[in-house]
Amino acid sequence: MSINAWKWAALLGGLVVAPAWAQVIPVEDFSKDYEFSDVSISPDGKYVAMGVPAANGTETQLQIVPLDGSASVQALRFTKQQHVTDIVWASDEQIVVSRAEKEPLREQLVSRGELMSSDIRGKNQEVLFAYIPDDGIRAGRRKDQGFAEVDMVLRNEPGSLLVNFTCWRSVCGEENPTVIYKVDARTGSRKEVERSPQPAVFWYDRTGRARLRKTTDKEDNPVLFYRPTAASDWESVPKTLAGFTFGGVSFEADGNTAYGVISDNREPGKMYRVDFASGTRTLLAGRDDVQIGQVLRAGRDGVPFGVTYDADKPSVRYFDNGSEWAKLHSGLLKAFSGKMITLVDFSGDNRKVLFGAWSDRVPPAYYVLDRDTNKVQMIGEVAPWFKAESMATTRPIEFTAPDGLKLFGFYTSRSNAAGPQPMVVVPHGGPYGVYDSWGFDRDAQFLASRGYAVLQINFRGSGGRGDKFEKLGYREWGGKMMDDIAAGVRWTVENKLADANRICIYGSSFGGYAALMNPIRYPDLYKCAIGYVGVYDLKVMHEEGDITERKAGRRYLDRVLGNDEATLIANSPARNVAKIKVPVMLVQGKLDRRVPMDQFNALESSFKKAGVPVETMVVSGEGHGFVKPENITELNKRVAAFLDRHIGPGTAAAPASTSPPVAQTQN
């Protein structure tokens, strides 16, 4: 279907759709796989490639869709029961993908660091990077013991790529090198062009010359090197150019003028125009309180024309409102009113633009804009079963922590909800560098569909606010991070968004930790708690699990948790179960390496000995979070039933205290 993008808003202006809350959305809708992912347009603008999951969810095929409808869709399989992601067009007819796997608690597939290529007809497939073991008869062709990803397509050499390959630590040790190879995607031949003795990220000018390199020191602080000119040797980046970090770099055709995000003092990064040869810079955009969310680029190899922010209220900032790309993007925002627009990919001549339109009420739908005809062609919706009129709305909120720190969060509720609502607090995982943002959240929407408001808080330590804000959360797992969550709950009660007598807390990973620790610190706030693959014993976390397998992981835990035994015990829910006075539900996967089963079993036993009501759900074949749709469906059913028993209809408790919640100090 083609539409005129610039008249879209006018066509829909008179359309009013009534809320559809009378029909409860099936629980299965919130766990089934999206219909496709990783969309990319070919350089000649004739095809769109996308990853499409098989019906049983065991593999993802690569589908090549002709935009003019002149030929049938071509489905490519690389290996049985394998997923693919990170689609890259090496030329008009050659495509590269990463072999991938489903990871718990993630919406998107995650690359395994193995690259494969094929032409668009599925012929001449080539393994570019992988470790292929010998089968007893033949030697495996590839013996790449590391992680590979495409850094850049060399536009002037169709079929050629720059690939970043980092050796596995298990093979090369803690100081594992990164090598940049120039690779022919058709034959698999490769040539080394750059090397770093440590894991590194590189940025390149348009010729493919590496110009900026970033590694990290033992404290995970960035270490920056650059080439002032293409002919220069590597030099340390002067503090006058970038005091702390520098990244997201793209160059103009002159090979000297670049654009990148720079932070000098761990503050949120800002976008600058940089003269590499002179080492000078000009500020283009940035905020003091929020990190840049997305950089908007002017075409396939174009420089930035704007940025977005998403850690609080979503917003767009153009550098020049009169530029052709700013006009194009703002026009699409007007045409798709109420949605954000992501420019995903471009044809080689930039006349066709692949973009996504999404909001808090619907996941992305993808379209191709033909700039010559001014027509928009729909590619598809990733989840067409979700209808905006049936979904909840998400509003950004802002409040202040007890120590005066400004915090952001999001409150999701049904559009027809009135007055204080029963509410579920959902702290995010991580906790460091991760953050919730405005957009479609399946977990929040599921809870809202069952009649519960949802509160998500970007407490100190979260991402989206700069490195300084992130480090405010160091060694504060059971302290100020918990205070921040409680302050957000109090704010919703004071603003009559939440019923103080009907609040529960539910989280996964660090969120699972917070789900049990917050009721210990603030026992009067909650009526129940759900811990999903949570980390419950900080002392054991120092001793067991996958993080402790590497020296860097152990150093990281020392930084973020500390190693004072008394403090670790005081801030561990597993060591303080007697202080939890609300019913608890615990959810665990038997294959979890982050929270091993013996730790979970000890925690369950402690709850029972303390007389704390506890309900458990333990699933075989799952790890640190569930992957299989049927298990996610069962989890959602049990969570909804648990919430209904404790804060659902007819469960109004005794009136809550009107005084502020008082934190319980851990001895």
In whole angstroms, give the CA distance from residue 92 to residue 98.
Answer: 18
* pTM: predicted TM-score of the whole model, two decimal places: 0.90
Tell me the per-residue pLDDT of 254-279, one tens digit each, with 9 for 90 and over. 999 999 999 999 999 999 999 999 99
Q: Do 477 and 592 lie in a common domain?
A: yes
Q: SS in 3 state form for 117-130?
A: EEECCCCCCEEEEC
Of the pLDDT bands very low, low, confident and very high (cuts 50, 70, 90), residue 81 is low
Average pLDDT value over all residues in the chain: 89
Cβ contacts of 657 within 8 Å, gap of 6 or more: 524
Q: 531 φ, ψ to 5°?
A: -105, 120
Whether 240 maps to a domain, the answer reads yes
Domain closes at, from 260, 291, 322? 291
Of the pLDDT bands very low, low, confident and very high (cuts 50, 70, 90), residue 82 is confident
Q: What is the pLDDT of residue 110?
A: 66
User: Among 73-87, 324-338, 440-454, 574-588, whose mean pLDDT is lowest?
Assistant: 73-87
Q: What is the pLDDT of residue 10?
A: 30
Q: What is the pLDDT of residue 652?
A: 67
Of the pLDDT bands very low, low, confident and very high (cuts 50, 70, 90), residue 105 is low
Tell me the per-residue pLDDT of 329-357, one tens digit each, with 9 for 90 and over. 999 999 999 999 999 999 999 999 999 99
Q: Which of 272, 268, 274 is nearest to 255 (CA)?
A: 274
Q: Radius of gyration over alpha carbons of the chain, in Å? A: 26
Q: What is the pLDDT of residue 661?
A: 45
Whether 211 maps to a domain, the answer reads yes
Domain closes at, from 233, 258, 291? 291
Q: What is the pLDDT of residue 28?
A: 96
Cβ contacts of 44 within 8 Å, gap of 6 or more: 92, 347, 348
Of the pLDDT bands very low, low, confident and very high (cuts 50, 70, 90), residue 418 is confident
**How is 504-536 classified by DSSP, letter by letter?**
EEEEETHHHHHHHHHHHH-TTS-SEEEEES---
Whether 3 maps to a domain, the answer reads no
Q: Do 487 and 616 lie in a common domain?
A: yes
Mean pLDDT of 19-43: 85
Q: What is the pLDDT of residue 553?
A: 80
Q: Please check the confidence at residue 326 and state whether its pLDDT lies above 90.
A: yes
Tell me the per-residue pLDDT of 387-407, one tens digit each, with 9 for 90 and over. 999 999 999 999 999 999 999
Of the pLDDT bands very low, low, confident and very high (cuts 50, 70, 90), residue 128 is very high
Q: Please check the confidence at residue 134 and state whether its pLDDT lies above 90.
A: no
Whether 562 maps to a domain, the answer reads yes
Per-residue b or e along 93-114, where b marks 16 or more CB atoms closer than 10 Å to that residue's CB: bbbbbbbbebebbeeebebbbb
Of the pLDDT bands very low, low, confident and very high (cuts 50, 70, 90), residue 18 is very low
Q: What is the pLDDT of residue 604?
A: 87
β-pairing verdict for 294-297 and 304-309:
antiparallel
Mean pLDDT of 145-155: 93
Cβ contacts of 136 within 8 Å, gap of 6 or more: none
Q: Please check the confidence at residue 615 and state whether its pLDDT lies above 90.
A: yes
Q: Which of the listed ranges 102-106, 109-113, 277-281 does the model predict with the highest average pLDDT?
A: 277-281
Whether 621 maps to a domain, the answer reads yes
Q: Domain count of the chain? A: 2
Of the pLDDT bands very low, low, confident and very high (cuts 50, 70, 90), residue 85 is confident
Mean pLDDT of 413-438: 93
In whole angstroms, give the CA distance from residue 458 to residue 379.
Answer: 34
Q: Which of 506, 498, 404 is nearest to 460 (CA)?
A: 404
Q: Do 426 and 567 lie in a common domain?
A: yes
**Cβ atoms within 10 Å, residue 653:** 13
Q: Do 631 and 487 lie in a common domain?
A: yes
Domain closes at, from 262, 291, 320? 291
* Residue-number span of the structural domain to which 486 is assigned: 392-647
Tell me the per-residue pLDDT of 479-516, one tens digit each, with 9 for 90 and over. 999 999 999 999 999 999 999 999 999 999 999 999 99
Between 21 and 425, name the one with better pLDDT.
Answer: 425
Whether 116 maps to a domain, the answer reads no
SS3 of 282, please? strand
Q: Please check the confidence at residue 78 and state whether its pLDDT lies above 80.
A: no
Mean pLDDT of 468-482: 96
Q: Please check the confidence at residue 9 and state whether its pLDDT lies above 70.
A: no
Q: Do 470 and 597 lie in a common domain?
A: yes
Whether 218 maps to a domain, the answer reads yes
Tell me the per-residue pLDDT of 189-237, one tens digit each, with 9 for 90 and over. 999 999 999 999 999 999 999 999 999 998 889 999 999 999 999 999 9
Mean pLDDT of 515-524: 96
Tokens of 258: 């670049």
SS3 of 614, please? strand
Q: Please check the confidence at residue 627 and state whether its pLDDT lies above 70.
A: yes
489: CATH? 3.40.50.1820
Whether 563 maps to a domain, the answer reads yes
Of the pLDDT bands very low, low, confident and very high (cuts 50, 70, 90), residue 623 is confident
Q: 634 φ, ψ to 5°?
A: -65, -40
Q: Do 478 and 597 lie in a common domain?
A: yes
Between 85 and 661, name the one with better pLDDT.
Answer: 85
Q: Which of 266, 151, 263 is nearest to 211 (CA)?
A: 151
